[in-house]
């Protein structure tokens, strides 16, 4: 028996926010003081580090559950399944639905239940729940779906990562330029064949020690803001140092658990958080084997799509699968790795054979 991704779908919002659109922002230090350099300098440095040129924002009338639904419809169509045959719908996110113009996080009912409602699935045995695991949420959802299938609790699951981070940040925080919106969905199901393919191994870790609050909700940097709203905040340098140490090791352990060789790996799909950080993680992964990273092993979408948290990996995988990322494609038998890091701090990885 193999447990495979049999369908993918993604929703990339139409609204494009370019770096130059932030030129009129008032960016502040953590203590509320102004930077001593211009926004032009701030933005130029930002792009050099993150690789982000533009990002996508959802339309005002769409919430995270809507984006998740759009991606889910495409994945169901791609897999050619009967939607009523789904045993589980798992939606990974961080903030639920955030209505445009508010900072209220709405998770009641669950986003997974909302997706099932929008899909018009009548089967009561299709169980829905949300997964809060930070940016690695979609990867963890796939791992959980596999566990259900291996335990014979399910034959087919829909796993989605969806987020509207554009509604959760402090506009005075220069880190706000990282965040974007989007959704990616996958059908995970049992395949009765004798081929060793699909999910070969996985690895999950939670480092809830000194790094627990590297990502958190905090007050605006604007000392004059009178609202009690709280915004997504992060200690960027600490996250960078954590990620480039922990993710390569998780990828290594996951690959070795699969029985595959480092030389078998064709692609590595990392959470699209920061181009410089992702480059460092892959370089360090190969250094663990005393190897230099091969060309074209790591597809990237962050330059045009930004960081949509749980949506980045399933969206990127869908794009590569459909030959929409230049110089990147997949063929049957390819060994690939998924890896992510995020709030918690959580790290996970999957070794997968197409």
Residues 224, 273: one domain? yes
Q: The domain spanning residue 267 has which CATH number?
A: 3.40.47.10
Q: What are the structure tokens assigned to 76, written together?
A: 């169901």
Distance (Å, rounded) from C-alpha 238 to C-alpha 245?
11
Structural domain ending residue among the three candidates 169, 191, 213: 191
Q: What pLDDT, on the 0 to 100 scale, is given for residue 68? A: 98
Q: Which two tokens stand for residue 225?
A: 């803001």
Do residues 62 and 129 lie in contact, with contact meaning Cβ atoms separated by under 8 Å? Answer: no
Q: In the predicted model, is pLDDT for residue 196 greater than 90?
A: no
| Tally of helices (H runs) and strands (E runs) in the chain | 8, 13
Residue 224 CB partners (closer than 8 Å, separation 6+): none
Nearest residue to 203 via CA among 313, 3, 339: 339
Summarize the confidence of residues 204-233 as an average pLDDT.
91
User: pLDDT by residue (tens digit) across 270-319?
Assistant: 999 999 999 999 999 999 999 999 999 999 999 999 999 999 999 999 99
**One domain, residues 261 and 171:** no
End residue of a domain, out of 138, 173, 191: 191
Q: Are residues 133 and 21 in the same domain?
A: yes
What residues make up the domain containing 19? 2-191
Do 125 and 243 have their domain in common? no
Question: Domain boundary residue among 167, 191, 215?
Answer: 191
Residue 192 confidence class, pLDDT cut points 50, 70, 90: confident
Give the pLDDT band (50/70/90) at residue 53: very high
Band the pLDDT of 233: cuts 50, 70, 90.
very high
The region, left, alpha or beta by phi > 0 then psi within -120 to 50, assigned to residue 306 is: left
Residue 193 above 80 pLDDT? no
Tell me: do 50 and 166 sit in the same domain: yes
Shared domain for 51 and 183, answered yes or no, is yes
**Tally of structural domains, the chain:** 2
Q: 273 and 227 in one domain?
A: yes
**pLDDT digits 0-9 by tens, 155-181:** 999 999 999 999 999 999 999 999 999
Mean pLDDT rounded to a whole number for the chain: 96
What gap in Å lies between CA 21 and CA 177, rounded to an integer? 10
My answer on whether 146 and 39 are in the same domain is: yes
């Amino acid at each position: 028996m193999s447990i495979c991704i049999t369908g993918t779908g993604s929703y990339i919002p139409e609204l494009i926010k370019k770096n130059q659109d932030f030129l009129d922002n008032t960016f502040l230090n953590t203590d509320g003081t102004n930077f001593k350099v211009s926004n032009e300098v701030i933005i130029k440095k930002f792009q050099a580090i993150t690789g982000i040129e533009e990002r996508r924002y959802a339309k005002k009338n769409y919430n995270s559950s809507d984006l998740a639904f759009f991606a889910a419809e495409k994945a169901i169509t791609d897999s050619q399944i009967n939607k009523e045959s789904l045993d589980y719908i798992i939606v990974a996110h961080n903030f639920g639905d955030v209505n445009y113009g508010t900072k209220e996080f709405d998770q009641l009912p669950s986003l997974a239940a909302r997706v099932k409602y929008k899909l018009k699935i009548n089967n009561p045995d299709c169980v829905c729940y949300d997964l809060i695991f930070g940016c690695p949420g979609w990867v963890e959802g796939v791992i959980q779906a596999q566990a259900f299938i291996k335990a014979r609790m399910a034959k087919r699951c829909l796993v989605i990562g969806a987020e509207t981070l554009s509604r959760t940040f402090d506009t005075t925080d220069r880190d706000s330029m990282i965040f974007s919106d989007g959704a990616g969905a996958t059908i995970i199901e049992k395949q009765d064949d004798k081929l060793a393919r699909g999910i070969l191994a996985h690895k999950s870790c939670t480092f809830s020690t000194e790094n627990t609050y590297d990502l958190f909700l905090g007050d605006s940097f604007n000392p004059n803001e009178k609202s009690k709203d709280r915004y997504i905040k992060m200690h960027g340098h600490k996250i960078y140092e954590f990620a480039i140490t922990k993710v390569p090791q998780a990828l290594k352990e996951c690959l070795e658990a699969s029985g595959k060789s480092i030389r078998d790996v064709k692609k590595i799909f990392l959470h699209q958080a920061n181009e410089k950080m992702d480059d460092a993680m892959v370089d360090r992964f190969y250094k663990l084997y005393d190897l230099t990273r091969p060309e074209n092993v790591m597809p990237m979408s962050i330059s045009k799509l930004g960081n949509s948290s749980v949506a980045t990996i399933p969206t990127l995988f869908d794009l590569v699968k459909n030959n929409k990322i230049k110089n990147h494609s997949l063929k049957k038998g390819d060994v690939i790795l998924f890896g992510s890091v995020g709030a918690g701090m959580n790290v996970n990885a999957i070794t997968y054979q197409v």
